[in-house]
Amino acid sequence: MKWEGIFGVLFFCVFCCVEGGKKIKIDVKRTKVYGPGLQPDKIAYPVQYFFIEVFDIKGNRINKSVGNAFKVQVEGETNRGTLCRVWTQVLDRYDGSYIARYRTYQTCKGTSIHVLYNNQQVADSPYKIEGPIYAEDCYCPVGDIKTWQDMAGCPATYPQIHQDLLPFHDVELGEVLQHATKRFNQAGARSFCNYVIKENKVYRKCYGQHVGFNMFMDNMLHSLVRKMRLPDIEFITNLGDWPLVNPKEEPLIPIFSWCGSEDTADIVMPTYDITEATLEMMGRVTLDLLSVQSNNDIPWSKKKSQGFWRGRDSRRERLDLIDLAREHKHLFNASLTNFFFFKDEEEKYGPKEKHYKYQVNIDGTVAAYRFPYLLGGSSIVLKQDSPYYEYFYHDLEPYIHYVPFKRDLSDLVEKIEWARSNDEKVQEIARNGRLYVQENLMPKDIYCYHAALFTEWSKRLKSQVEVREGMEHIPTPENEKRFGDCQCHRLRNRDEL
């Protein structure tokens, strides 16, 4: 018995080296594995994901990378009896934690998720999945929107949604649409779409010359209706970057926009950028809020104490930053990557360059949509004061999640010098920003926000929602037949469907 006990302990412990060559013993059974990707049969996401937190044999959380020995295998069978096609990936966050993610391309049954460290099963691995797992393009709603929110563990609502919808009660969308077309239907200047969700089908009619961005709204709506039955709703979406609604102009028009500002009254929702990154993760996008967390392999102590910035010339302050960087070369590494708005000044502010401790965030045409990606990295973000905001900005606090600087950049040198003199405080702010992203801007959170927004909006509509004349039905793209039929069990069990 004595030797059996010794061998049992050795079986569950693995030696590894962390930075500096220090040997530690990883306890593969104490190591934690958790997250939505362990219940893929409950909630479908474009990419399923879960987290691994490494612990040693004393129960201590390891806070540095333990190498790339973690592997994830997702095994299941298709309806045809063949092995499921699954793409898996493990991302090292270099803080003793890992993100495991996988994308399925067909309906998988009898699925097991194996989490391995040096070929040893970790925590409660293998995880047996009871129900079928559906690919992103499978139409298989779990129930109404409230059922989905409860299953996903979403907040009922958000302060930003409450604030944005506060002015609107008993909305008559017919009247709203008349005012919107009169005020905003300006070919070449403004573009927007009128959407209707009726019986979980998507309809729209767009106004304006440049309506290509409707694909982002289409894609998110299709992804939502595949997962849940949305209430019958009607709304107007702004397809441009600039918010549209003047709060002083009557009547106040409810417009959904990707960006808000302090002097407008648009209803903000997650930007097309963060939404597209969520939908196309492990696909045609290369940057998302999971992958960005794996770009932290350079320890804080080895990073340069400089402000870093790259971007195009979409605002005068960006050119001003180049001037500032040239005057204070020891504080900044800043370059423009492209010229569009100020082509006549390319000779002065160039040359263009391809795409350190301090990341500088300056507005583009509106809010810089790169901000959440910068927060998710391992550097501190210095953020320009701005009237523009994304849907989550009001959750953040200066000197807690980021360091602010004035809109005209007049105190940016001072803030960089302050950061250089307060390294521990700055590192703490960087950690807080990264933690906010991990707890509030993950793929699940993007869906939760949309679900809460549409739920609250549906309560404010006065008349019955109907498909308007001239609207186009935008069918949900079908499951790719080469991967087999979707065969949603929920639809087969509902005679009315």
Segment 397-405 shows an average pLDDT of 98
Question: Does the bond joining 132 to the residue before it have cis omega, within 30 degrees of 0?
Answer: no
Q: Final residue of a domain: which of 87, 106, 138?
A: 138
| Per-residue pLDDT reduced to its tens digit, 431-456 | 999 999 999 999 999 999 999 999 99
The number of distinct structural domains making up the chain is: 3
Residue 150 token pair: 């409860």
> What per-residue confidence (pLDDT) applies to 347?
38
Residue 9 lies in a domain: yes
| Per-residue pLDDT reduced to its tens digit, 73-103 | 999 999 888 999 999 999 999 999 999 999 9
- Whole-model pTM: value is 0.90
> What per-residue confidence (pLDDT) applies to 322?
83
Same domain, 327 and 417: yes
Reported as a pLDDT band with limits 50, 70 and 90, residue 355 is very low
> What per-residue confidence (pLDDT) applies to 337?
61
Same domain, 166 and 92: no
Same domain, 7 and 110: yes
* 359 pLDDT above the threshold of 70: yes
Short-list 354, 349, 356, CA closest to 321: 349
> What per-residue confidence (pLDDT) applies to 169?
93
> What per-residue confidence (pLDDT) applies to 9?
40
Reported as a pLDDT band with limits 50, 70 and 90, residue 284 is confident
Same domain, 321 and 404: yes
Question: Does the bond joining 141 to the residue before it have cis omega, within 30 degrees of 0?
Answer: no
Query: At 410, which CATH number?
Result: 3.40.50.2000
> What per-residue confidence (pLDDT) applies to 480?
65
Segment 244-257 shows an average pLDDT of 96
Residue 495 lies in a domain: no
Same domain, 427 and 364: yes
Question: Which helix (H) or strand (E) element contains residue 264?
Answer: none
Reported as a pLDDT band with limits 50, 70 and 90, residue 173 is very high
Same domain, 171 and 233: yes
**Percent of the chain residues topping a pLDDT of 90:** 73
346 against 378, higher pLDDT: 378
Same domain, 305 and 397: yes
Residue 215 lies in a domain: yes
> What per-residue confidence (pLDDT) applies to 342?
35
Same domain, 413 and 457: no
Same domain, 120 and 168: no
User: How many beta carbons lie within 10 A of that of residue 55, not counting itself?
Assistant: 18
Residue 229 lies in a domain: yes
Segment 377-399 shows an average pLDDT of 96
**Percent of the chain residues topping a pLDDT of 70:** 88
Same domain, 121 and 209: no
> What per-residue confidence (pLDDT) applies to 56?
96
> What per-residue confidence (pLDDT) applies to 295?
82
| Per-residue pLDDT reduced to its tens digit, 187-218 | 667 899 999 999 999 999 999 888 889 999 99
Q: What is the residue-averaged pLDDT of the chain?
A: 89
* 37 pLDDT above the threshold of 60: yes
| Per-residue pLDDT reduced to its tens digit, 331-354 | 988 877 643 333 344 334 344 443
Domain enclosing residue 129, as ranges: 2-138
Residue 145 lies in a domain: no
Same domain, 302 and 431: yes
Any idea which residue has 């009169």 for tokens? 182
> What per-residue confidence (pLDDT) applies to 478?
76
> What per-residue confidence (pLDDT) applies to 13?
63
CB-based contact 181:468 (threshold 8 Å): no
Rg (CA), the chain: 25
| Per-residue pLDDT reduced to its tens digit, 101-155 | 999 999 999 999 999 999 999 999 999 999 999 999 999 999 999 999 999 999 9
Residue 248 lies in a domain: yes
Q: Final residue of a domain: which of 93, 109, 138?
A: 138
Segment 275-298 shows an average pLDDT of 90
> What per-residue confidence (pLDDT) applies to 493?
64
Same domain, 130 and 241: no
Query: At 30, which CATH number?
Result: 2.60.40.10
> What per-residue confidence (pLDDT) applies to 137?
92
3-state helix, strand, coil in the chain (%, to 5): 30, 25, 45
Q: Final residue of a domain: which of 138, 171, 187?
A: 138
> What per-residue confidence (pLDDT) applies to 1?
38
Residue 400 lies in a domain: yes
Cα distances from 176 to residues 5, 49, 96, 187, in angstroms, run 73, 40, 52, 19
* 6 pLDDT above the threshold of 60: no
Residue 343 lies in a domain: yes
* 496 pLDDT above the threshold of 50: no
CB-based contact 25:14 (threshold 8 Å): yes
Question: Which helix (H) or strand (E) element contains residue 218?
Answer: helix 214-227
